[in-house]
Amino acid sequence: MSAKHRLELLRQMLRIRRFEERCAELYSAAKIRGFLHLYVGEEAVATGVIGALRPDEPIVSTYREHGHALARGVPMDAVMAEMYGRTNGCSRGRGGSMHLFDADRHFYGGNAIVGGGIPLAVGLGLADAMRGSHRVTTCFFGDGAFAEGEFHESVNLATLWQLPVLFACENNHYAMGTALARTHGQTDLALRAASYGLPAWPVDGMDVLAVEDAAHRAVEIIRAGGGPVFLELRTYRFRAHSMYDPDRYRDKAEIEEWKQRDPIDALVARMRTDGELGDGDLEAIEREVADELARAEEAAEAGPWEPVTDLTRFVYSERS
Amino acid sequence: MSAKHRLELLRQMLRIRRFEERCAELYSAAKIRGFLHLYVGEEAVATGVIGALRPDEPIVSTYREHGHALARGVPMDAVMAEMYGRTNGCSRGRGGSMHLFDADRHFYGGNAIVGGGIPLAVGLGLADAMRGSHRVTTCFFGDGAFAEGEFHESVNLATLWQLPVLFACENNHYAMGTALARTHGQTDLALRAASYGLPAWPVDGMDVLAVEDAAHRAVEIIRAGGGPVFLELRTYRFRAHSMYDPDRYRDKAEIEEWKQRDPIDALVARMRTDGELGDGDLEAIEREVADELARAEEAAEAGPWEPVTDLTRFVYSERS
Amino acid sequence: MSTIETTYREAMRAAIRDALIRDDRVFLMGEDVGRYGGCFAVSLGLLEEFGSDRVRDTPLSESAFVGAGIGAALGGMRPIVEIMTVNFSMLALDQVVNNAATLLHMSGGQLNVPIVIRMTTGAGRQLAAQHSHSLEGWYAHIPGIRIVVPATLEDARGMLWTALADPDPVLIFEPGALYPMKGQLDESVREVDIDRAAIRRPGRDATVITYGATLGTSLAAADALAGEGIDVEVIDLRTLRPLDDATLLDSVTRTHRAVVVDEGWRTGSISAEISARITEQAFYDLDAPVERVCSAEVPMPYPKHLEDAALPQQVDVVAAVRRSIGDGG
Amino acid sequence: MSTIETTYREAMRAAIRDALIRDDRVFLMGEDVGRYGGCFAVSLGLLEEFGSDRVRDTPLSESAFVGAGIGAALGGMRPIVEIMTVNFSMLALDQVVNNAATLLHMSGGQLNVPIVIRMTTGAGRQLAAQHSHSLEGWYAHIPGIRIVVPATLEDARGMLWTALADPDPVLIFEPGALYPMKGQLDESVREVDIDRAAIRRPGRDATVITYGATLGTSLAAADALAGEGIDVEVIDLRTLRPLDDATLLDSVTRTHRAVVVDEGWRTGSISAEISARITEQAFYDLDAPVERVCSAEVPMPYPKHLEDAALPQQVDVVAAVRRSIGDGG
Ligand SMILES: Cc1ncc(C[n+]2csc(CCOP(=O)(O)OP(=O)(O)O)c2C)c(N)n1
Ligand SMILES: Cc1ncc(C[n+]2csc(CCOP(=O)(O)OP(=O)(O)O)c2C)c(N)n1
Ligand SMILES: [Mg+2]
Ligand SMILES: [Mg+2]
């Protein structure tokens, strides 16, 4: 893998990290409201998995999806404007943080019902399969979602019908305040997924290179007509579940331990030892990201509000 | 195991078989209406599993539950009267074939939503566990129900909380007209169940002795505080799914093959070789069963109808 | 116009078959729609004609296959998803309420969900408390979806194609009691409007508003009342969401009396909504309060005599019309 | 009587704590009710006091843990099952509609289901289209369950125990917007009647019927109208199923005008049922058609100004009362 490519992965993770750190500030400043779920610490997952996909390959995500949207290429200003609820947002401001959509970029949201997006991904895969395409539809969901009946039904369906679906389980070891071991009788999720009859394995979700490598292997299987694949991406969220969460249920030492494995620091360190990070490279990226973020915030601030008279638009399609 | 005990198993299976054969006739005679799902061919499962339970151990069943009710000791006349919709029926006539209940005998129905009873069994087990009891709650459900999300959620919950629940999966290889291999990507159900972290194994559901033996082992584990157990009871229904079903989807040769393994014939043959079935024993049982059935039919015929003025009773409890 | 003798079941089957022929994005998916031929034999023979890819048997996974239908619709297909019976649709309600009904709005107009979900509804076959509900009126509470109920052979034949052409989710409720209904059908019917209610019987003295299985009951009641010289107009709603207020109000302002007949439970029924709308918009034209004839609020009991007692009967409709007229009298 | 200053959230917590102390068959079960302290901090501290057996965190498995609650109730326990938000309850609706609501009837009176299911409902916190529905009125369509909505500190404190004493399933809907509501509460409150609606403000000129989060809106509207010399009676339904018709009709026959205010979507709302019942039973006492003030029929948009526009506001209630009086004038 080229140094240039690693630099790209680094840039992508930094874009997500800085974007969300800023969102937390903007939430405190009451520019962003409702629920806000941050992905800080998990950036390697979105970056590595989505990096292995073609831009036309569908993605179905959750309410913790800023990273997925940015990695897919939804412009940062459209994402930020959505957080502000403005009409230049990627969902026209109607969705907010939990409901980012971008049809042109095959980004199918943005779902705030845990597990609710999984059957949609199966259906997108079914549509492709019926057209004879092995285009990969990727579905992101968490360790908590794994307990939902919709997960079970969906994985069985995708396996039974050999659909081109990548099940990307972001195991960050907590479902809100509930630890993995208090959600599952058997906590080896990859093992359980394998019992459905599809390839499934665990991946170090803190190592973007390991994630990208695993994702490449997974999509190769799927594109070759091998049916669905399940990846358990073991990761951790450094921040609370949402801005409402006082994070009383995690032991600070545990959080610190995981922070030692920060995916960004890890890649930087690795590139430094491999001599792939020249003086000022990191600073240059940070500067570019800061500029992009500043422009995004301006665009959001300047974005128009939907007129109240349009309240009931988009409940049904507009008939021409 | 004593010859006397085997004779009891034989009697139990014959009671179920003859009862249901008669029900089929009574359906054609329009004495029984609605949906009628027969258990013919699967008698060894109800007989063997319920034989291993204490009378006070709860049972949650499906719409194919005549066998479970009779094996549990719900009087045949109360079951038949229920099929007739009379007030002397075990559900006062309100339920019919799919909704047999008998609270005094810890028989919790009779559920016509596939998979719908599974969480109830988990809850009954939870109630016992919270009282420090390891009384076993048994839940019967089919291979089709295994695909429902409620199954997945329930088995995980029971395993996570180590509840005293026996999951008795009656794998008769069809969910209505849909063969096992068209319902599941991985058809080894015991293997899949094991992935939840509870003891699970397949059993020859056509051999009542094998079923009873497996059930004994399962309840020993549970009563010893070992948590839930899953049994995959491999069996076959000799008749159509319901009286509405023309049975177009099964190959006659397959049905014939399974009929060669009729659980009643199998036990009779075995007892004959072991010299446990004296001349006239079988005839004697048949006569007793015929008498019991005749009395049940009389009771049903004679049963009173619920007055229409009581239509809305039991929607809410009667307050004293 | 040349007509053929057919049944409601055959008309539905012809509609599905026709759709599969006309548009290769269309497919049928659900439990036992294929090899079994459909739990009520609606799709009998379609697997043999179109193959297992387009007539797709599913596992017992209501939430996943309804959700997969929504996803396939997002992916450019035109799925017809069958749920055997309305009670089982409770297992898929999350997908309908939280996804199908909201995606267009949440995405700011980007994502259409052109799915059609068909299910059997209603009582009358002694299937008891978990197979006999009539929840179509309940579903009509949800913005973002359209609810239609074919009550005639023509609508059974024509509503599906119109529903498939709709860019938004359409739920088709098929009263199980109507499948065997026989009659003459214009051979040329391929699609029908689903925006307007239909006056099935014009009349001057009172308006009976109904849909689905109780249309027959209402027409029979109207005939009986005609014998007493009471001339009843009978309206078939056809679409429960959105309701065609105009047709209802036009009729009521002519007859000054309205009776709503509905197989759903009375409290919170579609009848309540219709009663409220008529009162809101035609209060001063009413000679009597809007009457409702609904099902008893009880999970359906198994015995025939209790099931009959729970359901709206012709005598109940006749009595309600008489009350309405007597009242204003 | 001595009172304490408290909040709606604290009153709910006190009610749960009290129930756990008074009856060892009672336990609380749901997502994050334990270590997290409840997604809205209602059960904060209860795990520490009562332990993980009686304050039970569950996996994300709404259908199974609601069903397990029903099973535990059958098994002699008195479960309080918490569903975080009404939208998520769609995943458990099969258990509620097909089991909890039917078991007593299907079993011919043998099996009670003394379960209490609590969930947050309503909008107002910019949580958008999958977290903001108000479906309590929709649930009120289902026979076999009881629906209550505490709108005051006293009801937040007292309704739970009464619900637990009920032999049948009771669903308690807690408007999320009310949790921070502060006020004085009589210390001695332990249980309250849940059979009757309450007149929160007596008045002569018109009756405003509401419940939950819109009680405050309605009382504020009444105060505003008092300034114009319009004396409005405000009724808090408290229980949506069964409805207390007597209290409503008694009021309307005195005021001759009714306005129903409800955060649910208008079509098929509980407001429609109330409008229909009043019209049916008090038609000749009405000086004007019953008015409804409901939410716009739209999945809730995220921006504050659109959310406000979608929800019933004080000005809407004031306008409706004026219309009602103007109309009849
Ligand atoms: C069906 C449903 N139940 C509960 C919630 C509330 N909730 C939102 S996120 C969450 C935890 C999900 O955990 P996980 O799937 O591991 O994803 P993570 O948040 O850790 O990324 C919960 C309980 C919800 N949104 N939807
Ligand atoms: C939730 C639900 N979906 C569909 C049905 C219709 N149905 C009744 S039985 C059945 C097949 C169930 O198969 P299985 O679980 O294997 O049990 P079996 O009938 O073979 O004993 C179906 C599809 C139902 N009753 N409930
Ligand atoms: Mg997680
Ligand atoms: Mg089966």
The average pLDDT across B228-247 equals 97
In angstroms, the Cα distances linking A261 to A190, A270, D202 are: 22, 12, 64
Is D112 near chain B, with CB under 8 Å?
A: yes
Q: How many CB pairs under 8 A join A and C?
A: 145
Q: pLDDT band at D270, cuts 50/70/90?
A: very high
Residue B279's pLDDT is 87
Residue C327's pLDDT is 60
Which residue from B143, B151, B167, B176 has its CB within 8 A of the most atoms of ligand 2, so it is best to mutate? B176
Residue D329's pLDDT is 44
CA distance B109 to B141: 12
Q: Following CA atoms A311, A315, A317, A318 in sequence, which dihedral angle do they give, to the nearest 10 degrees?
A: -30
Identity at D242, one-letter amino acid code: P
Take residue C26 and report the two structure tokens written for it: 């269309």
CA distance C76 to A128: 9
Instruction: Verify whether the Cβ–Cβ distance C108 to A92 is below 8 Å.
Output: yes
Contact A255 CB / ligand 1 (< 6 Å): no
Per-state percent for chain A, helix, strand, coil, to nearest 5: 50, 10, 40
Active site residue C62: yes
The average pLDDT across B122-148 equals 98
Residue C1's pLDDT is 77
Residues from chain B contacting residue D110 (CB–CB below 8 Å):
91, 101-103
CA distance B146 to B153: 11
The average pLDDT across C13-33 equals 98
CA distance D183 to chain A (A): 23
Q: Is the backbone peptide bond immediately before C242 cis, with ω within 30 degrees of 0?
A: yes
CA distance B47 to A197: 33
Centroid of ligand 3 to alpha carbon of C227 (angstroms): 69
Residue A279's pLDDT is 87
Is C290 near chain D, with CB under 8 Å?
A: yes
Is A311 near chain C, with CB under 8 Å?
A: no
Q: pLDDT band at C329, cuts 50/70/90?
A: very low
Nearest CB among A150, A159, A185 relative to B149 is that of: A150
Residue A33's pLDDT is 97
Contact A174 CB / ligand 1 (< 6 Å): yes
CA distance A217 to chain B (A): 22
CA distance A53 to A47: 10
Is C144 near chain A, with CB under 8 Å?
A: yes
Digits of tens for pLDDT over chain A (320 positions)?
689 999 999 999 999 999 999 999 999 999 999 999 999 999 999 999 999 999 999 999 999 999 999 999 999 999 999 999 999 999 999 999 999 999 999 999 999 999 999 999 999 999 999 999 999 999 999 999 999 999 999 999 999 999 999 999 999 999 999 999 999 999 999 999 999 999 999 999 999 999 999 999 999 999 999 999 999 999 999 999 999 999 999 999 999 999 999 999 999 999 999 999 988 999 999 999 999 999 999 999 999 999 999 999 999 999 87
Active site residue C256: no
Nearest CB among D68, D75, D98 relative to B116 is that of: D98
Phi, psi of B114 (to 5 degrees): -60, 120
DSSP codes of every residue in D10-71: HHHHHHHHHHHHH-TTEEEEETTSSTT--TTSTTTTHHHHH-TTTEEE--S-HHHHHHHHHH
Instruction: Verify whether the Cβ–Cβ distance A184 to B156 is below 8 Å.
Output: yes
Instruction: Verify whether the Cβ–Cβ distance C27 to A122 is below 8 Å.
Output: no
Q: Following CA atoms A216, A219, A225, A229 in sequence, which dihedral angle do they give, to the nearest 10 degrees?
A: 110
CA distance A196 to D171: 36
Contact C298, D105 (CB under 8 A): yes
Instruction: Verify whether the Cβ–Cβ distance D110 to B156 is below 8 Å.
Output: no
**For testing contact with chain D, the best of C84, C133, C275 (most D CBs within 10 A):** C275
Name B70's Cβ contacts closer than 8 Å, sequence gap at least 6.
B12, B15, B16, B19, B46, B76, B79
CA distance A178 to D31: 8
CA distance C177 to C167: 30
Is D176 near chain B, with CB under 8 Å?
A: no
Q: In the 8-state DSSP scheme, what is residue B307?
A: P
Residue-wise pLDDT for C288-314, tens only, equals: 999 999 999 999 999 999 999 999 999
CA distance C127 to B36: 10
Residue A2's pLDDT is 87
User: Taking the CB of residue A318, how many other CB atoms lie within 10 A of it?
Assistant: 8
Q: How many CB pairs under 8 A join A and B?
A: 62
Instruction: Verify whether the Cβ–Cβ distance A176 to D39 is below 8 Å.
Output: yes
Contact B111, B120 (CB under 8 A): yes
CA distance C218 to C271: 14
In angstroms, the Cα distances linking C269 to A133, A275, A288 are: 45, 72, 59
Q: In the 8-state DSSP scheme, what is residue C230?
A: -
Residue B1's pLDDT is 67
pLDDT at C271 over 80: yes
Q: In the 8-state DSSP scheme, what is residue B260?
A: T
CA distance A277 to A274: 8
Contact D261, D212 (CB under 8 A): no
CA distance A296 to C197: 50
Residues from chain C contacting residue D298 (CB–CB below 8 Å):
105, 143
Residue-wise pLDDT for A97-154, tens only, equals: 999 999 999 999 999 999 999 999 999 999 999 999 999 999 999 999 999 999 999 9
Contact C233, C208 (CB under 8 A): yes
The H-or-E segment that residue D258 falls in is strand D258-265
CA distance D227 to D318: 11
Centroid of ligand 1 to alpha carbon of A63 (angstroms): 9
DSSP codes of every residue in B9-52: HHHHHHHHHHHHHHHHHHHHTTSS-S-----TT-HHHHHHHHHT
The H-or-E segment that residue B178 falls in is strand B178-179
Take residue A73 and report the two structure tokens written for it: 């290429």
Identity at B271, one-letter amino acid code: M
Instruction: Verify whether the Cβ–Cβ distance B195 to A198 is below 8 Å.
Output: no
Among all chains, which residue has been given the structure tokens 């001759």? D256
The H-or-E segment that residue B259 falls in is helix B252-259
**For testing contact with chain A, the best of C62, C106, C147 (most A CBs within 10 A):** C106
CA distance A62 to A64: 5
Instruction: Verify whether the Cβ–Cβ distance B191 to A186 is below 8 Å.
Output: no
**Strand, helix or coil at D142?**
coil
Centroid of ligand 3 to alpha carbon of A246 (angstroms): 16
Instruction: Verify whether the Cβ–Cβ distance B119 to D107 is below 8 Å.
Output: no
CA distance D16 to C1: 70
The average pLDDT across B174-197 equals 98
CA distance C292 to C298: 17
User: Taking the CB of residue A3, how many other CB atoms lie within 10 A of it?
Assistant: 14
The average pLDDT across D157-162 equals 98
Contact A125, A93 (CB under 8 A): no
CA distance B165 to A299: 58
Chain centroid to CA D300: 19
| Minimal-distance CA residue of chain A relative to C70 | A120
Instruction: Verify whether the Cβ–Cβ distance D98 to C140 is below 8 Å.
Output: no
Ligand nearest to the CA of C131: 2
**Can you tell me which atom of ligand 2 is nearest the CA of C91?**
1
User: Taking the CB of residue D223, how many other CB atoms lie within 10 A of it?
Assistant: 13
Instruction: Verify whether the Cβ–Cβ distance C98 to A101 is below 8 Å.
Output: no
Residue A319's pLDDT is 82
Q: How large a percentage of chain D has pLDDT more than 90?
A: 98
Contact A172 CB / ligand 1 (< 6 Å): yes
CA distance C201 to C192: 19
- Label the pairing between strands C258-265 and C291-295: parallel
**Can you tell me which atom of ligand 2 is nearest the CA of B146?**
15
Is A178 near chain D, with CB under 8 Å?
A: yes
pLDDT at D328 over 70: no
Is D61 near chain B, with CB under 8 Å?
A: yes
Contact C294, C271 (CB under 8 A): yes
Contact A76, A300 (CB under 8 A): no
CA distance A227 to chain B (A): 11
Is D50 near chain B, with CB under 8 Å?
A: no
Centroid of ligand 4 to alpha carbon of B176 (angstroms): 7
Take residue A79 and report the two structure tokens written for it: 């994402």
A121-135 b/e with 16+ CB inside 10 Å = b? bbbbbbbbbbeeebb
Neighbours of chain B (3+ CB pairs under 8 A): A, C, D
CA distance B248 to B177: 8
Residues from chain B contacting residue D103 (CB–CB below 8 Å):
109
The average pLDDT across D106-135 equals 97
Centroid of ligand 3 to alpha carbon of A175 (angstroms): 4
Centroid of ligand 3 to alpha carbon of D31 (angstroms): 13
CA distance A76 to A79: 5
pLDDT at D184 over 80: yes
Q: pLDDT band at D327, cuts 50/70/90?
A: low
pLDDT at C94 over 60: yes
Residues with CB under 6 A from ligand 2: B 64, 112-114, 142-145, 170, 172, 174-176, 241; C 31, 60, 62, 84, 88, 91
Instruction: Verify whether the Cβ–Cβ distance A130 to C27 is below 8 Å.
Output: yes
CA distance A282 to A268: 8
B198-237 b/e with 16+ CB inside 10 Å = b? bbbebbbbbbbbbbbebbebbbebbeeeebbbbbbbbbbb
Neighbours of chain D (3+ CB pairs under 8 A): A, B, C
CA distance C180 to B196: 46
In angstroms, the Cα distances linking C63 to A150, C317, D246 are: 6, 38, 41
Q: At what angle do helices B118-130 and D62-74 cross, to 10 degrees?
A: 60
Phi, psi of C171 (to 5 degrees): -105, 125
Residues from chain D contacting residue B304 (CB–CB below 8 Å):
none
Give residues 123 to 152 of D whose Cβ lies within 8 Å of C.
Answer: 128-130, 133, 137-138, 140-144
Global pTM exceeds 0.90: yes
Residue-wise pLDDT for D206-252, tens only, equals: 999 999 999 999 999 999 999 999 999 999 999 999 999 999 999 99
Ligand nearest to the CA of B239: 2
CA distance D41 to D13: 9
pLDDT at B320 over 80: no
**Can you tell me which atom of ligand 2 is nearest the CA of B115?**
1
